[in-house]
Amino acid sequence: MKRLFFAVLVAGLMLTGIAHSDDSDSATATTTAANIAAAAKLDNPGGIGGLESLRGMTELETTRPADPMKHYPKDQGVIDSDYVYQPPLIPHTIRHNEVSLNANKCLACHSWKNAKEMNATKISVTHYISPQQGQVLSDVSPSRYFCLQCHVPQADAEPLVENDFKRVNALR
């Protein structure tokens, strides 16, 4: 944005300087415009300021290649919780599983009606309780319908940032 501003400023100064001067002054106007453009480059170097981010040492203006896709195991069984009240993790890939206003592919296997037949974990009874009124519903509560708000699949991936997180002792 700054570069565009300076480019317009320089162009305006060049046009103004050339329009209002005679032939002897046009060289001076061009030199002044060139000096302003050079000062703008020095004043606005862009780049990353020498800081490394999750993007690496890539400049903000540069589009870098995408990271390789993470590997999601097909099915790794039940994944232990790391903290109390952690929503269960999804132990399988969810690629091409639609969870939208019109469809919820999770319920095809994990609803109480289908879980036994599909050999899948039943969703918790808490998902059938309306949080506003506390009433037990005959179907999944609308506030619990979008499973991926809480439940996430696990990929074979290194942490993005270092951490020293330790599981709760009671869950070891």
Decide if 149 is inside a domain: yes
109 found inside a domain: yes
Note whether residue 163 is domain-resident: no
Flag whether 152 is in a domain. yes
Q: What is the model's pTM? A: 0.56
Q: Does some domain include residue 90?
A: yes
Query: Residue 151 is part of a domain; what is its CATH number?
Result: 1.10.1130.10
Whether 117 is in a domain gets the answer yes
pLDDT tens per residue, the chain (172 residues)?
A: 667 766 766 666 666 554 444 444 555 555 666 666 555 455 445 556 667 777 777 777 778 788 787 777 777 777 888 888 889 989 888 888 999 999 999 999 999 999 999 999 999 999 999 888 889 999 999 999 999 999 998 877 788 888 888 887 776 6
- Count of the separate structural domains present in the chain: 1
| HEC string for the chain | CHHHHHHHHHHHHHHHHHHCCCHHHHHHHHHHHHHHHHHHHHHCCCCCCCCCECCECCCCCCCCCCCCCCECCCECCCCCCCCCCCCCCECECCCCCCECCCCECHHHHHCCCCHHHHCCCCCCHHHHECCCCCCECCCCCHHHCCHHHCCCECCECCCCCCCCCCCCHHHC
Q: Which residues span the domain enclosing 77? A: 67-157
